[in-house]
């Protein structure tokens, strides 16, 4: 097999890259170890920055997003029993949209299949070869047959546990990591959302988040220990803890109870590798970086990576040189580290840390009060939340 760009991974990063390359007249093959049903049905968070919505819309895969997505013009920070709204749209002219990651994947798979682009599911024994040469290749098994895909470039979009990053020789990449001393217990419930916008709650018992998947599906998170036993959390205990952490001074209960459909525990970590390439192998999305979910940056960072990489590959494949490809890692990492900073800041400001004698709690309350009272601080949060510009060289209004 022969193609211009071999793409490992059919998540949002790999599928969006294949879509953008198709629009630019560049051939690609997408390889995915899981089944189509698995990648389409795996429920993942989905808060889309304005820039992510824009790129999906501009490239023709945003119709269902605009029909079914839930636009949000603000968020609420709740602490000391009171809510404080940050007007995202009023401060920045931009907003965010709730639309599940699996729904983005479905839309991109449909687009890929509609124009007949090669998309192979359930491949096995995938391995990258000769990435440091001008003729890299990917070997794999599909339908019981051993195959080799020869490429000009390989895009590693196969997530944190994928094979692409691990295929790079030791010593080439430098990894930066922070593991947080807490996790999130998340539930999906058949209940009306607590609010039409997200609520981030700082409470002395720990952080809580109220969000949604639709008007009838609520998604809630509670800070817990990383080694928490999910079996120890009965439905009654979960609802009681949500009511306690979301409590308002006026006594009005916003959390709406309903049958809990899913429960799970998510660890919290920050992770970045530099550079995001080795020879003709380029890493994107979770293969290169992980952020704690507090800032809602995971999928949005993947989309930002792909916008930079697709533009660079278009120039390279159409004979306009490799300057943009050579700058890919530096360009992408500038935005990655700013998203890491924002996610770390939100996480540090809202979570309870073990061993705190009250000092940390009072500092967090002071920080939250400042963010909500200062127009400049509110703007800083808002412009980070809706998404920084793709390039540091771009106008902040771009």
- Catalytic machinery residues: 72, 200, 293, 297, 385
* Closest CA relative to residue 213, chosen from 43, 40, 27: 43
288-293 long-range CB contacts below 8 Å, 24 or more apart?
A: 288/156, 288/165, 288/332, 288/336, 289/336, 289/340, 290/160, 291/339, 291/340, 291/343, 292/180, 292/268, 292/343, 292/344, 292/347, 293/45, 293/184, 293/221, 293/266, 293/268, 293/343
Query: What's the CA gap between 333 and 337, in Å, rounded?
Result: 6
Beta-carbon-side half-sphere exposure of residue 35 (alpha carbons within 13 Å): 3
Query: What's the CA gap between 304 and 13, in Å, rounded?
Result: 9
Instruction: Say if CB 88 and CB 385 are below 8 A apart.
Output: yes
Q: Is 320 helix (H, G, I), strand (E, B) or coil?
A: coil
List 265's β-bridge partners, or say none: 185
Instruction: Say if CB 136 and CB 278 are below 8 A apart.
Output: no
Q: Which DSSP letter does residue 235 get? A: H
- Residue 40 sits at φ, ψ, to 5 deg, of -85, -25
Sheet containing 199-202: order of strands: 82-87, 74-79, 199-202, 208-212, 218-224, 174-189, 260-274, 289-290
Cα–Cα distances (Å) from 50 to 42, 94, 271, 382, in that order, read 24, 6, 24, 12
Query: What's the CA gap between 118 and 18, in Å, rounded?
Result: 9
């Amino acid at each position: 097999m022969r193609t211009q760009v071999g793409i490992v991974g059919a998540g949002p990063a790999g599928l969006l890259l294949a879509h953008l390359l198709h629009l630019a007249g560049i051939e690609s093959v997408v390889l995915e170890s899981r089944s189509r049903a698995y990648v389409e049905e795996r429920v993942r968070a989905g808060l889309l920055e304005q820039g992510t919505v824009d790129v999906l819309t501009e490239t023709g895969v945003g119709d269902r997003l605009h029909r079914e997505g839930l636009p949000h013009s603000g968020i609420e920070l709740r602490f000391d029993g009171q809510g404080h709204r940050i007007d995202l749209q009023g401060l920045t002219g931009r907003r965010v949209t709730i639309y599940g990651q699996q729904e983005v994947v479905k839309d991109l798979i449909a687009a890929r299949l509609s124009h007949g682009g090669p998309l192979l599911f359930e491949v096995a024994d995938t391995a990258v070869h000769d990435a440091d040469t001008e003729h890299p290749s990917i070997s794999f098994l599909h339908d019981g047959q051993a195959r080799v895909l020869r490429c000009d470039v390989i895009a590693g979009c196969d997530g944190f546990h994928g094979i692409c990053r691990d295929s790079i020789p030791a010593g080439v990449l430098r990894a930066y990591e922070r593991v947080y001393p807490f996790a999130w217990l998340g539930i999906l419930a058949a209940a009306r959302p607590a609010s039409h916008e997200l609520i981030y709650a700082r409470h002395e018992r720990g952080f809580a988040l109220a969000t949604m998947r639709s008007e009838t599906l609520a998604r809630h998170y509670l800070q817990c220990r990383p080694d928490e036993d999910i079996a120890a959390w009965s439905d009654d205990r979960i609802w009681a803890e949500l009511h306690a952490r979301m409590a308002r001074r006026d006594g009005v209960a916003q959390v709406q109870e309903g049958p809990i459909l899913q429960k799970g525990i998510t660890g919290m970590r920050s992770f970045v590798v530099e550079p995001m390439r080795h020879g003709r192998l380029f890493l994107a999305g979770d293969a290169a970086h992980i952020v704690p979910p507090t800032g809602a940056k995971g999928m949005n960072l993947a989309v930002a990576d792909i916008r930079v990489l697709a533009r660079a590959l278009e120039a390279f494949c159409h004979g306009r040189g490799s300057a943009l490809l050579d700058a890919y890692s530096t360009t992408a990492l500038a935005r990655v580290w700013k998203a890491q900073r924002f996610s770390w800041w939100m996480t540090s400001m809202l979570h309870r840390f073990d061993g705190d004698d009250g000092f940390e709690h009072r500092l967090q309350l002071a920080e939250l009060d400042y963010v909500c009272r200062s127009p400049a601080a509110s703007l800083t949060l808002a412009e980070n939340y809706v998404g920084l510009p793709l390039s540091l060289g771009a106008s902040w209004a771009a």
